[in-house]
């Protein structure tokens, strides 16, 4: 059995700083991590590997520096790592990205199980997974919070909804999108880290994939959606802040505000 896990390297968004003048993200010194949902996906794949002896290929599309994320996945126990990287792919939106990743997966050979994270914390779109599934013509279950059974020809998984869950049987090959609850990622081992840095990361570029791409629908130019503008969030004007007053005075101030605004 083969499993492919798609991962993305993302900035740790808690620490994001915005340049107040330009409104752009200050990327300098920004820590990068494997996207949390993707990391849960890696862990779930490792659990299946331990159970069935499956091999795991981990795939990431991004700039050459994304190899750091791939090496971390290798150090956790994945078998092979593939970086999809080319200048032509830069600026791709989710439609374009999923087309490129789907082409890479066909090139690598279809797995029985394809896992992506539900969403990445930098974009939060949750679109790339299902769009890859569509382009590979395989069924999907998204928001997977538990994998209950794995056999050669089907899986049984638990799919989360806001108001409950479904237990779903799905035939392989299929796509699962992982949420954080699926698995708590293990740490890298020292020997794993050493091994990871000795392994070669396979690179798939434009030349390797071009025959299998919708060439007019990749990169900044071809992506169906384009950015019109981006701007830092404008927060509403702050009101009064009361301090150095007694608790009773503060409570009276709240009561006055509630009356003024007709909440009470």
Ligand X SMILES: Cc1cc2nc3c(=O)[nH]c(=O)nc-3n(C[C@H](O)[C@H](O)[C@H](O)COP(=O)(O)OP(=O)(O)OC[C@H]3O[C@@H](n4cnc5c(N)ncnc54)[C@H](O)[C@@H]3O)c2cc1C
Least spacing, CB of residue 87 vs ligand X, in Å: 29
- Nearest distance from residue 116's CB to another protein, in Å? 11
Q: Report in angstroms how near the CB of residue 124 gets to ligand X at its nearest.
A: 8
Give the CA count within 13 Å in the CB-facing half-sphere of 101.
28
**Can you tell me the distance from the alpha carbon of 49 to that of 56, in angstroms, rounded to the nearest whole number?**
7
Tell me the C-alpha distance between 236 and 193, whole Å: 47
C-beta closer to ligand X: residue 14 or 235: 14
Give the Cα separation of 258 and 264 in Å (integer).
6
Neighbouring C-beta atoms of residue 90, cutoff 10 Å: 12
Binding at 156: pick from ligand X, another protein, none (beta carbon under 5-8 Å per type): another protein
Tell me which residue has tokens 């499993």. 3
User: In whole angstroms, how close is the CB of 243 to ligand X at the nearest point?
Assistant: 12
| Binding site partner of 187, from ligand X, another protein, none, Cβ cut-off 5-8 A by kind | none
Q: Which does 194 bind (CB under 5 to 8 A by kind): another protein, ligand X, none?
A: none
Residues that bind ligand X (CB under 6 A): 13-14, 121
Q: What is the dihedral of CA 98, 100, 104, 107, to 10 degrees?
A: 120
Please identify, using beta-carbon distances, which residue of 14 and 190 lies nearer to ligand X: 14
Q: Compute the least distance from the CB of residue 172 to another protein, in Å.
A: 12
> Which of ligand X, another protein, none interacts with 52 (beta carbon under 5 to 8 A by kind)?
none
For ligand X, the closer CB: 14 or 263 = 14
- Using the minimum distance from each CB to ligand X, give the nearer residue, 16 or 26: 16
Q: Is 258 helix (H, G, I), strand (E, B) or coil?
A: helix
* Shortest CB 254 distance to another protein, Å: 6
Pairing of strands 140-150, 154-161: antiparallel
Task: Output 29 or 238, the one with its CB closest to another protein.
Answer: 238
Report how far apart the first and last C-alpha atoms of the chain are (Å, whole number).
63
Q: For residues 226 and 184, what is the distance between their CA atoms, to the nearest angstrom?
A: 36
20 vs 109, which CB is nearer to another protein? 20
């Amino acid at each position: 059995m083969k499993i492919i896990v798609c991962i993305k390297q993302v900035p740790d968004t808690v620490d994001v700083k915005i340049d107040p003048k330009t409104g752009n993200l200050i990327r300098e010194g920004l820590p990068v991590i494997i996207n949390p949902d993707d990391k849960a996906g890696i862990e779930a794949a490792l659990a299946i590997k331990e159970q069935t002896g499956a091999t795991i290929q981990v795939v990431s599309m991004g700039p050459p520096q994304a190899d750091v994320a791939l090496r971390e996945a290798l150090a956790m126990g994945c078998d092979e790592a593939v970086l999809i990287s080319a200048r032509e792919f830069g600026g791709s939106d989710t439609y374009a990205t999923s087309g490129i990743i789907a082409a890479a997966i066909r090139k690598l050979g279809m797995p029985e199980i394809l896992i992506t994270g539900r969403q990445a914390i930098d974009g939060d779109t949750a679109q790339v997974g299902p769009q890859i599934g569509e382009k590979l013509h395989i069924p999907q279950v998204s928001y997977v919070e538990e994998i209950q059974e794995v056999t050669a020809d089907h899986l049984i998984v638990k799919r989360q909804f806001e108001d409950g869950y479904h237990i779903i049987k799905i035939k392989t090959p299929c796509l699962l999108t992982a949420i954080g609850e699926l698995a708590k990622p293990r740490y890298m081992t020292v020997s794993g880290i050493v091994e990871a840095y000795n392994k070669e990361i396979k690179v798939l570029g434009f030349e390797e994939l071009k025959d299998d791409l919708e060439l007019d629908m990749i990169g900044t130019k071809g992506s169906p959606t384009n950015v019109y503008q981006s701007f830092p969030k404008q927060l509403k004007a702050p009101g009064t802040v009361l301090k150095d007053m007694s608790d009773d005075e503060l409570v009276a101030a709240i009561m006055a505000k509630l009356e003024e605004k007709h909440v009470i």
